[in-house]
Chains A and B, each alone.
Chain A
Amino acid sequence: MHPDSRMSRKLPLVASTRRTMLRMAALASGTLLGFSLSTAPAQAQGWKPSRTVELVVFASPGGGNDKAARALQKIWADNKIVDAVVANRVGGGGTLAYTYVSQKAGDGHYIAIAQAGILTNQLAGRTNLTYNDMTVLPYIGTEPVSLSVRTESPIKTLKDFADRLRKDPASLTISPGSTLASTNHFVVALLARAVGSDPRKLRMVTFGGGAEAATNVLGGHIDAMVNASNNAVPHMQSGKMRILGISSPKRAASMPDVPTFREMGFDVIQDSWYVFLGPRGMTQGQIDFWDDVFARTMKTPEWKKFVAENGWEFGFMPSREAAAFMKREHEEARSIMSDLGALKAGQ
């Protein structure tokens, strides 16, 4: 992979965050408009759910995206935005949930919360379902991904870490949490690529989840972990872990002192994003309806509280922008997975 092409792929992403911020400003100024709309009898040819909506998540109750879905459902109920239930359809790294929703063609009553698995599962050949078989709805934010070591570690900075990878990519044991060829894994792969090492030689160790990886870092059984910063921030606050950097385009509000990879001179941008998907063949009216619902949700104090408490980064893209975003992410994931040798032939 030529470094320039990496550069060019990164730029639209930065541009898109800037666009997002503009969009958010526009939304804020549009609050009055939204208010007057909701007091009007009904939108002209708009679509509205005629029964309870199913909000499908692929985590078990209590897991990452389940928490977000339940927060949304409560906000929708309290503010009388939409009448929804959360349905847990666990299995296949999200494939079961996506397949279930994709089968409800043209029905706006089914939406699924999606993460990068919708792209990587298909690229790795675990399913044939792609995001193109569904309708992309809004993007609602990201969780920063952080690289952390325990306090006693001789690795003090991201540069130390990168130097070790440059000398020998197999000299460090690193956990990407529970899944290989995931966003977390991509962060280390991109870093290895940036210092001219073969990402395939990395010694990645998976555990049952972020908490288990953290225990192994704290106990000195592995050298580092790279996962949603939620797993590391508490240990950093208690003085037991050091976060070397985050792979977001800019610093995170939840840990303003932690530098980004880019600031440290490494061209690595990977976020753990959340996008909603509906079945294929949704009408424009249905898409507009969901754009409006999420735009309104993002402005509620409850959502802002959720974002702050869970270390999310605020972000919103309406369906159209989110679809373009997915296309870019898909290309990027394909490129990194090809480098990792994790790409299924023909994908």
Chain B
Amino acid sequence: MKKETHIHAAERFLNNKKNAVWHDETLWQTRAKRDRQAALIPEWEQLRELASKIKMHTITHLDHYLEQFAAAAEKNGATVHWAKDAAEHNAIVLQILQQHQATQLVKSKSMLTEECHLNPFLIEKGVDVVESDLGERILQLMDIPPSHIVMPAIHIQREAVGKLFEEKLNTEKGNADPTYLTRAMRKSLRQKFLASTVAMTGANFGIAETGDVVVCTNEGNADMGTSIAKVHIVSMGIEKVIPSHDALSVFVRLLARSATGQPSTSYTSHYQKPQKEGELHIILVDNGRSSILADKDHIQTLKCIRCGACMNTCPVYRRSGGYSYSYFIPGPIGINLGMLKAPKNYYTNLSACTLCFSCNSVCPVQVDLGNQIYKWRQGLDSIGKANRTKKVMSDGMRMMFKQSGIYHAALKAAPLINLMPRALIYCKADKWGIGRELPQFAKQSFNSWWKKEVLKK
């Protein structure tokens, strides 16, 4: 299936003006909150620097830290599984569920399970998969994917949630009060929690020296799930491992402040041991990560802690929405991760960047997101995916600018364009002219002025 390009999806998003303005402003407010929180920490920039170095160190010594982590986790009584790809990951989850004759799985938020398409896989096998993060649950009931990695339902306004809950949870007609709706969902989810025997979480960090898994949430849903169910499955990307609790102290100061502008998430839960008479399964997932390690231009994407700050600051993301990108992770980090996954499937996202580099500066682990997008663009021609218009324009410019004589002639002739009939200039082929007036060429270029006013004198 040919997916819609970012260009067209963005245009469609902007056609709904009221929604587009609201989306931009909402995400900008998150960026502003992040700025205010960061400003309260005098050593903020040193923290970013340190976080970047710790991550770089860890991912370049990943063999060592993963083994240390796995050994420590097993010593704690956890079972460690290694999954080389999504299929292996999903099969391991299913096997654990089957071993416990579980027909329901309560999940807290995890982008990795999204990446592995775990939910459709399990649902097809007859498992009742229940997302327990409020945003994720809303999306699950609407049967649509997340549009943001931290605030998955940020694009949905409360009136739409009210309507959905009327239908699914029998709430009062026309009641879109957030507290009311949240309580209705809590009541509905409580039944699911109480009935669950297996719970699943993602992992924000894995601590190599102690083998614990750290999960940061705001709603307490991860803790509710894992407290009731006897079996806990953790789905964790191999790049999530960090050396120590000292290292963790750097990341937890950065994560929530960067993500939502909170000093910390409401819950920072450490899972170290299985429950009494229970099981703790940790699935370490590669799914392409180890090949990124060998890619010197893009290795830095493995530092990402999935805070979403690059989305909130991205002027293009805010004005085009998460669904305008064809990869399931949108925004600057998503453009890069999509290219790492399958360039031919996701290259059309590369246009969604002005190279403003704001993402580089907000990133808490200093991933060079904008520079990487620039680099991907350089490779498009070699995979036969270069934009033809841009290629023709670039060739034309190269011709003109290589030869000073041609350029000088063009400079002289340019003002003639000003005299062309409006209908000829503002045609369909001229995308500049759809929303803007064209610049007027000067009657006398700087070159002519220089020759006349400076050289002749």
Q: Do A and B come from one complex?
A: no
